[in-house]
Amino acid sequence: MLFRQLFDATSSTYTYLLASRIGGEALLIDPVKEQMPGYTALLRDLDVRLVHAIDTHTHADHVTALGDLRDDTGCVTVMGEFSRATCVSHRVRDGERLRIDGVVLEARYTPGHTNESFSFVLEPDRPRAVFTGDALLIRGTGRTDFQGGDAGRSWDSIQRLFQLPDDTTLYPGHDYKGWTASSIGEEKRCNPRLAGKTREAYIDIMQNLRLPHPRLMDVAVPANLACGQP
């Protein structure tokens, strides 16, 4: 399997490319519109055909490349079943599996950051990795104060992710410190919002973050409901 972790410095967003093999099928998770030239070049260099472009949720800090990728490659755009994006070609349900040339991703409904957030488990029968979007970050969690966010649901979703094996690699949708990956077991032990905390304590933490809204929120959310296109 081919794997690439790509980074958008402006929004601190990670995008992930998975492909079965050189010359095979591929998918992208959480692509950023401004990075389209890089995606196009990478797909060409690896000689892979993009089958799925996935957003884990409706992003508030960058504009998605889903629509551009669909138009350029003919790929299927994918989001969770509760997304309000009318342009999405396929809406996954909890437990549904996406397959490309033997690579399997299983959708897990993990609301809390937004009310439509999904995570995706790689090789769910023997989990190798989980792509969590903003549901669970490295030493942090996605904020829960807009887009239908809910701190209690966030806690419950994270506890569901914590049922994965401890050695499951965790790949987040963002990181602001330069960390690239963690693991389920590491976040159980070391995440300051979660380790040793109760559900009630976590809710209190999240309700008192008092963060400013993302700078691009008023632009990004409407754009992303149209898959990043006018």
| Whole-prediction pTM | 0.97
pLDDT averaged over the chain?
A: 96
| Secondary structure (DSSP) of 24-66 | SEEEEES-BGGGHHHHHHHHHHHT-EEEEEE-SS--SSS-B-H
pLDDT for res 206: 97
pLDDT tens across 132-174, in order? 999 999 999 999 999 999 999 999 999 999 999 999 999 999 9
pLDDT tens across 68-126, in order? 999 999 999 999 999 999 889 999 999 999 999 989 999 999 999 999 999 999 999 99
Q: Residues of the chain with pLDDT > 70: what percent?
A: 100
